[in-house]
Amino acid sequence: MKTISIATALTILASAAHGAECIDAKAAKAGFILERPGIHSEFRPAAGGMVSVANEYQSQSPQTQFLFGGLIEVFRDSETGQLAMIPFSDLRKLFPLKAGAKSKTVFVRLAANKQPKGTETLEINVKGKETFSLGDCKYNVLAVRLTIKNEAGKTQDEFTALYAPDLQAVLARRYDEGTNAESVVGYEVIKPLPN
């Protein structure tokens, strides 16, 4: 009887220890790591509603991004240069995101030694709620359709971000949604930052 109790206790402890690796909203405030083959990303909350993301790639130079709310890129820095996206409206009014919400934000893209080619528009359409798994961890995410159009209205980029509001992070991107070419590119592992 004692052996069963010890074995049961060890199983419970092992499960608790394994489950402790899942990052919740409170733990996310201390930062965390997301990984998939070829990329290691460290997320850290920053002032003003920003999230700093340090990306290390297997096949290219490191990159640092600042994402408003963990979703909207406003600055990028790497060995290839710097890029800033300056919105003409208050991004704070977009958050917290809710299913069914739609918005359009006009912005200008600035890079060193390059004149902007005109304004661009970021369209956000929060399509609904889903669940996304990172290993043994499950997260409630919003499926957020992001479309970037140039000044002439031509689509430059379009994808669905699977955005975890609790983490303020995009866990995956869905491309060519609803077509035979649909694909999902997402992180596979989440873990706390080392102390």
- For the segment 149-189, what is each residue's pLDDT rounded down to a tens digit? 999 999 999 999 999 999 999 999 999 888 888 999 999 99
Q: What is the pLDDT of residue 117?
A: 87
CA triple 99-103-106, angle to 5 deg: 155
- pLDDT surpassing 70 at residue 28: yes
Long-range contacts of 77-86 (CB under 8 A, 24+ apart): 81/111, 81/112, 82/111, 82/112, 83/109, 83/110, 83/111, 84/109, 84/110, 84/111, 85/109, 85/110, 86/110
Q: Which residues pair with residue 66 across a beta bridge?
A: 52, 75
Helix (H) or strand (E) holding 38: none
pLDDT per position as a tens digit, 103-147:
999 999 999 888 998 999 999 999 999 999 998 999 999 999 999
pTM of the model: 0.86
- The average pLDDT across 26-30 equals 95
110: nearest Cα among 67, 81, 148: 81
Distance (Å, whole) CA 130 – CA 161: 11
Residues of the chain above pLDDT 90, percent: 79
Statement: residue 20 has pLDDT above 80:
no
Task: Output the pLDDT for position 23.
Answer: 96
Token digits of residue 187: 């992180």
CB 102 within 8 A of CB 170: no
**Is residue 6's pLDDT more than 70?**
no
**Residue 60's pLDDT is what?**
86
